[in-house]
């Protein structure tokens, strides 16, 4: 016996409604009632499927993971945004995605409840990398740390990008991402931070 169409309909209706709402308001400014209204679903039905709003969020994010896997080979991309020749890398593709759909930017925007969404997304992306990266260790930098640093750096770029309404494009964002992740801060900043971290006054 296949899965009842009714449950499938109900669940996706709820997923979609949540995403739609997250794009509009702050996550914890969203009441369960709002979701019900948006999805046109009965109260009791909701609680028959999920135990809480957070539970719904967690389950919804499993879908994001699928998107990521697809993205690995540029599958989930619209034709317009397809690279001229050959493939882009994962990061570039993601940045293009974000560039295309401003929604994600909004979802990642500030606010109290956004932090929750943000951390949840982090977890999913980290999972993805954990499954993708080969096992190895380099110069005493453990796998898990390297991976989390990559996620953190990506999100830093993303948030900085959309927060300041920067007039740079996805390519530039990707460039900065790779620069920071792979090479660290450029020379001048290296010196500045080096001095600060060493406790030497900065001359002011």
Partner DNA sequence: ACGATACCGAACACCGTGTTCGGAACGTTC
Partner DNA sequence: GAACGTTCCGAACACGGTGTTCGGTATCGT
Reading the block at residue 58, the tokens are 């967690």
Answer with the entry of DNA, a copy of itself, none that 183 interacts with (C-beta below 5 to 8 A by kind).
a copy of itself
Secondary structure tally for the chain: helices H, strands E: 10, 0
Which of 4, 40, 80, 183 is the binder for a copy of itself (CB under 8 A)? Answer: 183
- Using alpha carbons only, give the angle 101, 105, 111 rounded to the nearest 5 degrees: 150
**Could you identify the residue written with the tokens 């992740």?**
181
| Interface with a copy of itself, residue 65, by CB under 8 A | no
Size of site (CB under 8 A) for a copy of itself: 63
| Interface with a copy of itself, residue 167, by CB under 8 A | no
Residue closer to a copy of itself by CB (options 45, 122) is 122
CA separation for the pair 70, 158 (Å, rounded):
20
Answer with the entry of DNA, a copy of itself, none that 184 interacts with (C-beta below 5 to 8 A by kind).
a copy of itself
Residue closer to DNA by CB (options 33, 191) is 33
The piece of 15-23, 31-39, 41-49, 111-119 that touches a copy of itself (CB under 8 A) is 111-119
CA separation for the pair 181, 117 (Å, rounded):
23
CA separation for the pair 194, 84 (Å, rounded):
41
Q: Per-residue contact track with a copy of itself, 3 to 42, x per CB under 8 A?
A: ----------------------------------------
Answer with the entry of a copy of itself, DNA, none that 102 interacts with (C-beta below 5 to 8 A by kind).
none
Q: What residues form DSSP beta bridges with 141?
A: 138
Give 5-32 as a DSSP string: HHHHHHHHHHHHHHHHHHTTS-GGG--H
CA separation for the pair 56, 11 (Å, rounded):
9
Answer with the entry of a copy of itself, DNA, none that 164 interacts with (C-beta below 5 to 8 A by kind).
a copy of itself
Residue closer to a copy of itself by CB (options 70, 115) is 115
- Using alpha carbons only, give the angle 1, 39, 37 rounded to the nearest 5 degrees: 140
Helix, strand, or coil (residue 138): strand
Binding-site ranges for a copy of itself (CB under 8 A): 54, 72-74, 87-93, 112, 115-116, 118-119, 132-134, 136-141, 144-146, 148-150, 152-153, 155-157, 159-160, 164, 176, 178-190, 192-194, 196-199, 202-204
């Amino acid at each position: 016996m296949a899965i009842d169409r009714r449950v499938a309909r109900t669940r996706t209706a709820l997923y979609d409604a949540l995403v739609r709402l997250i794009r509009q308001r702050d996550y914890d400014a969203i009441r369960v009632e709002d979701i019900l209204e948006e999805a046109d679903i009965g109260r009791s039905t909701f609680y028959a499927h999920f135990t809480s709003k957070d539970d719904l969020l967690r389950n919804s994010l499993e879908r994001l993971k699928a998107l990521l896997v697809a993205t690995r080979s540029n599958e989930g991309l619209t034709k317009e945004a397809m690279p001229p020749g050959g493939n882009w890398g994962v990061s570039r593709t993601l940045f293009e995605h974000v560039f295309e759909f401003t929604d994600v930017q909004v979802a990642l925007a500030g606010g109290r409840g956004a932090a929750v969404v943000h951390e949840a997304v982090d977890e999913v992306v980290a999972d993805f990398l954990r499954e993708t990266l080969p096992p190895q260790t380099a110069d005493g930098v453990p796998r898990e740390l390297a991976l989390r640093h990559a996620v953190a750096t990506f999100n830093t770029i993303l948030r900085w990008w959309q927060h300041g309404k920067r007039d740079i494009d996805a390519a530039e964002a990707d460039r900065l991402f790779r620069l920071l992740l792979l090479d660290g801060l450029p020379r001048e900043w290296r010196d500045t931070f080096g001095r600060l971290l060493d406790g030497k006054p900065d001359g002011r």
